[in-house]
Amino acid sequence: MPQTSKRVTPNSLRTMKKSGSKIVMMTAYDFPSAELIDAAGVDVILIGDSLGTVIQGKKTTLSVTLDEMIYHTRLVARAARRALVVADLPFPYAQLGPADAVRACAEILKESGAGAVKIEGGEKRADVVRAVTDAGIPVMGHCGLMPQEIRKLGGYKVQRDEAALERDLAAVQENGAFSVVLECVPHEIAARQTARLGIPTIGIGAGKGCDGQVLVFHDLLGYHLPENAAPKHARTYIDLGSIITGAVQSFAQDVRNGNFPTDAESF
């Protein structure tokens, strides 16, 4: 549970890095999930464009629209009382350049109630990060594996080029990001880069040397069919998929056998 009820801000995360306190981040895409996550004391709730794969059942995040991001972020922001709410900037606004990115990020904050945006890309998106932060919008960076470049990468692959990662992280930090997600980076590299940076790193498949960790809500809960197993870097804390399936099967059996509803459950 949280040690304080104070609202988490970008400055809070910097303070946590300095004090050595680990940052806890989780995804959420709707009001009830966000309400439960916030009550449990997480520091950051991320509305990822991963909603394309997790919620919409698509193969990639690329088709998620700005309107969809705003809609889901609005639901989450309405529930969050303590956590910092961060929304992904969906493809292709960062790729289109600073002007389009600023307009899209401003719309997200204005229409959804988010506290910050997350922008994928390092050195080659430095001008975008700078323009958005100059517009007064807090930016969380995202380096390492970048799902919005999945077509170029040819798949979800571990990113092992430390020199390139170091340049990306430096560019993100120097252009005003308050933190950065490190995705699918070898743990030794992530730990070294985390120690060099002045802003906090939040890992996903990047080892425990990061300043914090993020996990997808549905992976943590096992909220899927058994054949749709969570990735290697995601720990499942409960098999909610089997629990839900079992509960629905019990309900269906009771309906078919005439055991639902009972007289006590009827008007």
Low-confidence ranges of the chain (pLDDT < 70): 1-4
Do 17 and 50 share a domain, yes or no? yes
Share the mean pLDDT of the chain. Answer: 96
Task: Give the bridge partners for 23, in sequence order.
Answer: 212
Question: How many other β-carbons are positioned within 10 Å of the β-carbon of residue 57?
Answer: 8
**Domain total in the chain:** 2
Residue 114 is predicted with a pLDDT of 98
We report the CATH number of the domain holding residue 141 as 3.20.20.60
Residue 25 is predicted with a pLDDT of 98
Residue 243 is predicted with a pLDDT of 97
Do 184 and 257 share a domain, yes or no? no
Domain residues for the domain of 133 are: 10-236
Catalytic residue among 149, 166, 183, 227: 183
Residue 1 is predicted with a pLDDT of 42
The token pair at 190 is: 């992530």
Do 63 and 186 share a domain, yes or no? yes
Do 74 and 184 share a domain, yes or no? yes
Could you tell me if residue 1 is inside a domain? no
Q: Which long-range contacts (CB under 8 A, 24 or more apart) does 183-189 make?
A: 183/142, 183/143, 183/144, 183/145, 183/146, 183/147, 183/159, 184/144, 184/145, 184/156, 184/157, 184/158, 184/159, 184/233, 185/144, 185/145, 185/158, 185/159, 185/160, 186/158, 186/160, 189/160, 189/162, 189/165
Separation between Cα atoms, residue 135 and residue 89, nearest integer Å: 15
Could you tell me if residue 110 is inside a domain? yes
Could you tell me if residue 211 is inside a domain? yes
Residue whose C-alpha is closest to residue 140's, from 208, 52, 74, 202: 202
Separation between Cα atoms, residue 223 and residue 215, nearest integer Å: 13
Residue 228 is predicted with a pLDDT of 87
Could you tell me if residue 4 is inside a domain? no
Do 148 and 262 share a domain, yes or no? no
Residue 4 is predicted with a pLDDT of 54
Residue 157 is predicted with a pLDDT of 81
Do 27 and 107 share a domain, yes or no? yes
Find where tokens 């990735």 sit: 231
Clarify whether 183 is annotated catalytic.
yes
Do 213 and 253 share a domain, yes or no? no
Do 201 and 263 share a domain, yes or no? no
Query: Model-level pTM?
Result: 0.95
Could you tell me if residue 5 is inside a domain? no
Do 194 and 253 share a domain, yes or no? no
Could you tell me if residue 112 is inside a domain? yes
Residue whose C-alpha is closest to residue 138's, from 178, 189, 166: 178
Tell me 49's DSSP state: T
Q: What distances in angstroms separate CA 175 from CA 16, 88, 122, 128, one per listed residue?
A: 21, 18, 10, 9
Could you tell me if residue 2 is inside a domain? no
Do 81 and 95 share a domain, yes or no? yes
Do 136 and 34 share a domain, yes or no? yes
Backbone conformation region of residue 234, classed left if phi is above 0, alpha if psi is from -120 to 50, else beta: beta
Could you tell me if residue 254 is inside a domain? yes
Residue 231 is predicted with a pLDDT of 87
Helices and strands per DSSP (H, E), number in the chain: 12, 8
Do 232 and 244 share a domain, yes or no? no
